[in-house]
Structure 1
């Protein structure tokens, strides 16, 4: 195998597959990046056993072939090369890299040991979304998935397609995010995909634009972009019926400037950041104002008020400040609407109902469990 490539493009391709190179693996080949040249296209591949990734790069091909080399070493070497064309040549048991006056000889790994990457079936159900739609959907929902491996099923994002909509939902049992967007595909699909895999797919959508094609199969999901592909093993287990968590009504509704509230919560929460245990922020709502408070026995106290529109009786309720800020950030827009029952029931955050003549609001819901104080 022998080819020449532009350093910046080659490095970007390596960064993409490096994210799924196996770490602390019992199977050495999974710590490598596979390079396969055919004509003027080189394909870079990696897998950690749970997620596979591939990217194709147009190069100046000279001799077809393949090689498997340490992903970490290749990434470190290419990152430090001068900004010039890179020549890669496999000879014997080594990969020779030349760039400007710099040259490296990297020992090869056994190419035959690299696992066969998964390819979706031709008749598997497929969903296609615009890159921006997909990126927004993942950005709003995925952060609500759990990061604790104790309940693996909650570390995933549930994707559902059918009935004219594509829906993503995630929960860590303290909060819940659900977002739906219109979808014109046929059939029905359901998959529980890891948050990590979706975050990488989102990064590709942000960078490349165009469409995202998803193939959802019983054991894994495939995300295809212009020049790359990501395959993730689905999380096994029964996902909770999250819609049962949503209250069927409310006694109070609060409408407030989203950015203003987020800034206030960030400021007030500072007094509790040094605590070993999380210090909640308390929202005291009455009349046309809300007072946001925090009281830390270690650091001190803080409070700030801002104007709101409140429907219903006064209410005092407390939240985890990080979860509250995540919800406010995910909503976007100028205003946010809160729906409450009482200080112990979950609160619902949504985009406000549109005024007459306005566009329909986003179909997004963020449920947040209160904290006892």
Structure 2
């Protein structure tokens, strides 16, 4: 096996393909990246850990076709460190020679015959714009649990009904919902999948800038695999098994009280006030006619407060939030104003975006946050 490839092209492809390799692979070969050089002048790179697979295709000058398996992380580090010149790769027995300018590296090969077969990419279920997918994933995954002892809540529930896709996530303290429009392969499609939040984050970062993203769900009674493809890169992931809790019903049907505040000033004020909030202590928001006052700290501890202009409809109300959870919800919105909708001071508060101080809010993205009880 022998080929020549541009350094930047190789480095980018190997780095992307090796990004999900496990730190402690159950079998040594799973730490490898498989490289196949074809007579058509294409390099196929692949990685797989029995949960997530990744494949990328890049052009190369193939002198001798063949397949080899080498340490993915080591090859990624080497390829990024090479000078900006063409890279010649040659397989000689159990060793791989990497030559670039005056730099020369020799890597040991792994037994490629022991490498598992990669899962096939399912048929494309629909197509979504990469920037829309990236924004939606960033908005929803902030509320997904990071506690692996509750695997169901580390996933994002994906509900597909024709042209509408709804993403839902919760960690029991907050709930995020985002609706978006895509182009389904079948207009009558109706399905549900539970996708790992880290998989969606990875796809958003690595494929979101590549234009349209093809999404593929395996068909049949047990939908257990999801795939994403864009720009010559493919990745698949097993779905999370289990029944997601019925979280939609947590959104209130009616909210007799709501307040509207300029979003960016609220973010900046919350950051300042939270500087005196000790670990696990909340920020309090006191809404009255014409203003909201943020404060934190009490007694002999450091204290801070700041007032901002706001519009309040309904009676005055005070709530307290985990500072980081509050900031996560505010940062996930992209509008100039945020509407906070209340049913009661002790009940979850719904955050939605609004384009101006007056008018209606958008329900495209909804963030529900459980307040912290505090003594008055």
> Which TM-score tier does this pair reach, normalised by the shorter chain?
over 0.9
Cα 1:299–1:24 change in 2 (3 A) is farther
**SS of residue matched to 1:364:** strand
Asked whether 1:265 is paired with 2:270, we answer: yes
Given that 1:68 and 1:110 are in contact with CA atoms closer than 8 Å, whether structure 2 keeps it comes out as yes
Aligned to 1:90: 91
Which segments of 5 or more consecutive residues in structure 2 lack a partner in the other structure?
A: none
How far, CA to CA, are the matches of 1:353 and 1:301 in structure 2? 33
Moved more, 65-74 or 179-188: 179-188
SS of corresponding position for 1:84 = coil
Query: How much is the aligned-residue C-alpha RMSD, in angstroms?
Result: 1.9
The alignment status of 1:317 with 2:316, answered yes or no, reads no
Q: TM-score normalised to the size of structure 2?
A: 0.93
Partner of 1:54: 55
Cα distance in 1, alignment partners of residues 35 and 238 from structure 2: 23
2:203 alignment partner, SS class: helix
Deviation sequence 1:182-234 (CA, Å, 0-9, x none): 234221121111111111110123332x2111111211100111210010100
The answer for the alignment partner of 1:284 in structure 2 is: 286
| Cα distance in 1 for residues equivalent to 2:361 and 2:340 | 18
**Partner residue of 2:195 out of 180, 190, 193:** 193
Match of 1:34 in 2: 34
1:104 and 2:105 matched: yes
Contact kept? 1:253, 1:312, Cα under 8 Å: yes
User: C-alpha separation between the residues in 2 aligned to 1:164 and 1:83?
Assistant: 45
2:355 and 2:368 mapped to 1: Cα distance? 17
Partner of 1:3: 3
Q: Which residue of 2 aligns with 1:219?
A: 224
Cα shift readout 1:74-117 (whole Å, capped 9, x = no counterpart): 12211221121111111100110001101011000010111111
Partner of 2:287: helix, strand, or coil? strand
Return the alpha-carbon distance in structure 2 between the equivalents of residues 109 and 49 of structure 1. Answer: 18
Structure 1, residues 240-295: CA drift from partner, whole Å, max 9, x if none? 111111112112110010111011111111122xx4x3221100111110011111
- Deviation readout 1:155-194 (Å, 9 max, x if unpaired): 0111111143111111111111111112342211211111
3-state secondary structure, aligned to 1:147: coil
TM-superposed CA distance for 1:121, in Å, is 4.1
CA contact (8 A) 1:34 1:45 kept: yes
Shift of 1:354: 7.7
**Which stretch shifts more, 197-206 or 334-343?**
197-206
Q: Which residue of 1 aligns with 2:368?
A: 367
After superposition, where does 1:148-163 map in structure 2 within 5 Å?
148-163=147-162
SS of the aligned residue for 1:149 comes to coil
- Per the alignment, residue 17 of structure 1 pairs with 17
**d(CA) in 2 for partners of 1:270, 1:47:** 43
Question: 1:50 offset after TM fit, Å?
Answer: 1.4
**For 1:94-173, what aligned pairs fall within 5 Å after superposition?**
94-122=95-123, 126-173=125-172
Report how many aligned residue pairs link the two structures.
366
Unmatched 5+ stretches in structure 1: none
Corresponding residue number in structure 2 for 1:236: 241
The normalised TM-score by structure 1 is: 0.94
* 37 and 244 in structure 1: CA distance in 2 versus 1, 3 angstrom threshold: same
Are residues 5 and 365 of structure 1, via their aligned partners in 2, closer, same or farther at CA, if it must alter by over 3 Å?
same
**Aligned twin of 1:253:** 258
